[in-house]
């Protein structure tokens, strides 16, 4: 094998790993873009991803007799678990007008404890890897055989392709439809949109439930496509990185896609640097995606204008502090 071929193979391997690593981040970030555009900060996204990862594994495990159907059942249950967790968040943050950051943190802590306890009850000692039916690799005919980047771009599991197809769908919905305009108005000036008959709390709740379902499926990706098993705390901060991606992408789905690919590259380099046997403590390499996240947010994002009503509760009488 020539040196040129070695470099080509290495580049394709890193590119494929970047896309795979970006997929769960992008899936969660797209839901969060919609939620924050409506004015809700979903800090509980990490917990919703963890719930999705666990219950997605459980759903696939109990339908393992149908290996072709089990991953889809797991993915559906993963999305449903994220949606139900988001409903809990919505009740306290939107209906009771609690602090969204505090409630989101509580949801994440709840998910961390709940998934580990249920895992031990169902499957025994924590840390035991329980393999389940997972999504296999799908090669797109003709395109995957292209001599340049064909395998890296067109040979992945089906969730990768569906996630990247969602990017233009979310963009068109937010910026070229009337419901998308109303959602963006909810995040900028909810009182104004309410004067034309829009149900601000209803729209925000629907957007939050959508974000929860997306986060749940992002967690399901981890246990049903990335690795075919669950371990407690396996999201390892990906939910918070998804939050950073939304800011880095300036609350825009296409820009968030680029940000997710950047952080996916950080994860891909981390694994390959460790495999190369470099004389660097592996803990420093594990920090690479998170250091990259902090560096980008601190110095390379530029001025990012958040929706004006982001994180502000809505409700009560006109003129009270609940109206942004």
Boundaries of every domain in the chain:
14-299
Q: What is the pTM of this model?
A: 0.89
Given this model, what pLDDT does residue 321 score?
42
More confident residue, 250 or 278: 250
Strands (DSSP E) contained in the chain are 137-139, 155-157
Yes or no: say if 264 and 167 are a contact pair by the CB < 8 Å rule. Answer: no
Q: Give the span between the Cα atoms of 20 and 219, in whole angstroms.
A: 13
Q: Give residue 132's pLDDT band: very low, low, confident or very high (50, 70, 90).
A: confident
Mean pLDDT of the residues in the chain = 85
Given this model, what pLDDT does residue 318 score?
37
| pLDDT above 50 (res 62) | yes
Yes or no: say if 204 and 38 are a contact pair by the CB < 8 Å rule. Answer: yes
Tokens of 140: 């797109």
Percent of the chain with pLDDT over 90: 48
Distances (CA, A) of 236 to 25, 46, 53, 289: 12, 9, 12, 11
Yes or no: say if 132 and 69 are a contact pair by the CB < 8 Å rule. Answer: no
Question: Which CATH number among 4.10.860, 3.30.1360, 1.10.3470, 1.10.357 corresponds to the domain 14-299?
Answer: 1.10.3470
Given this model, what pLDDT does residue 1 score?
65
More confident residue, 248 or 51: 51
């Amino acid at each position: 094998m020539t040196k040129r071929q070695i470099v080509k193979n290495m580049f394709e391997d890193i590119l494929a790993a970047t896309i795979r690593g970006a997929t769960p981040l992008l899936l969660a970030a797209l839901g969060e873009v919609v939620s924050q555009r409506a004015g809700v900060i979903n800090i509980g996204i990490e917990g919703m991803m963890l719930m999705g990862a666990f219950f997605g594994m459980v759903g696939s495990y109990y339908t393992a007799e149908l290996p072709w159907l089990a991953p889809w059942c797991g993915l559906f249950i993963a999305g449903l678990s994220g949606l139900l967790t988001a409903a809990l968040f919505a009740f306290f943050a939107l209906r009771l007008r609690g602090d969204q950051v505090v409630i989101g943190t509580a949801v994440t802590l709840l998910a961390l404890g709940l998934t580990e306890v249920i895992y031990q009850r169902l499957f025994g000692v924590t840390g035991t890897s329980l393999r389940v039916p997972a999504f296999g690799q799908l090669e797109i005919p003709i395109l995957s055989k292209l001599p340049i980047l064909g395998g890296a771009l067109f040979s992945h599991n089906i969730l990768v392709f569906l996630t990247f197809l969602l990017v233009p769908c979310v963009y068109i919905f937010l910026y070229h439809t009337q419901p998308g305009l109303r959602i963006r108005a909810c995040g900028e000036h909810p009182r104004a949109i309410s004067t034309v008959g829009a149900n601000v709390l209803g729209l925000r709740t629907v957007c939050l439930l959508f974000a929860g379902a997306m986060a749940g499926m992002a967690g399901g990706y981890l246990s049903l496509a990335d690795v075919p098993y669950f371990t407690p705390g396996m999201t390892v901060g990906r939910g918070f990185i998804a939050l950073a991606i939304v800011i880095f992408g300036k609350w825009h789905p296409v820009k968030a896609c680029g940000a997710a690919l950047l952080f996916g590259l950080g994860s891909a380099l981390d694994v390959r640097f460790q495999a190369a046997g470099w004389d660097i403590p592996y803990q420093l390499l594990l920090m690479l995606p998170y250091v990259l996240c902090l560096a980008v947010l601190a110095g390379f994002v530029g001025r990012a204008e958040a929706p004006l009503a982001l994180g502000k509760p809505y409700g009560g009488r006109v003129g009270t502090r609940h109206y942004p």
